[in-house]
Amino acid sequence: SAVISQKPSRDICQRGTSLTIQCQVDSQVTMMFWYRQQPGQSLTLIATANQGSEATYESGFVIDKFPISRPNLTFSTLTVSNMSPEDSSIYLCSVETGYQETQYFGPGTRLLVL
């Protein structure tokens, strides 16, 4: 298993600003993922973040809006840039601990944009 922490746990931000969310894992993992959960909705994949390579973004998500860093095998950041109220969501990181194995999720960052 993996223990994942995220910072901040929640934040209230003004439109036009940016917020960087941190994801820390207690073990080295190859694959990390970032998801968004809009209010009352299911989870949608934003991007896959592998150490040593650029993140791979899903359709509808772009690097300028959601830049991701993955400096090592235990840490990643997601920045939500130039925020608007539509960005109000829960942002979750997850890791996969091995081939065809369980994905574990962090506790999420609840973001409200005013």
Partner 1 sequence: SQQGEEDPQALSIQEGENATMNCSYKTSINNLQWYRQNSGRGLVHLILIRSNEREKHSGRLRVTLDTSKKSSSLLITASRAADTASYFCATDTGRRALTFGSGTRLQVQP
Question: Is the C-alpha dihedral spanning 96, 100, 101, 106 positive or negative?
Answer: positive
Q: Residue 22 and residue 40: Cα distance in Å, rounded?
A: 23
33 contributes a contact to partner 1 by CB under 8 A: yes
Q: List the interface residues with partner 1, window 58-77 (CB under 8 A).
A: 59
Question: H-type helices in 7-94, by residue range?
Answer: none
Would you put residue 52 in left (φ > 0), alpha (ψ -120 to 50) or beta? left
Stretch near partner 1 under the rule CB under 8 A, chosen from 12-20, 21-29, 40-48, 71-79: 40-48
1 vs 14, which CB is nearer to partner 1?
1
Nearest CB to partner 1, comparing residues 56 and 82: 56
Q: How far is the CB of 96 from partner 1 (least distance, A)?
A: 6
The string of DSSP codes covering 29-41 is -SEEEEEEE-TT-
Interacting residues toward partner 1 by CB under 8 A: 31, 33, 37, 42-45, 48, 59, 90, 92, 94, 96, 100-108, 110
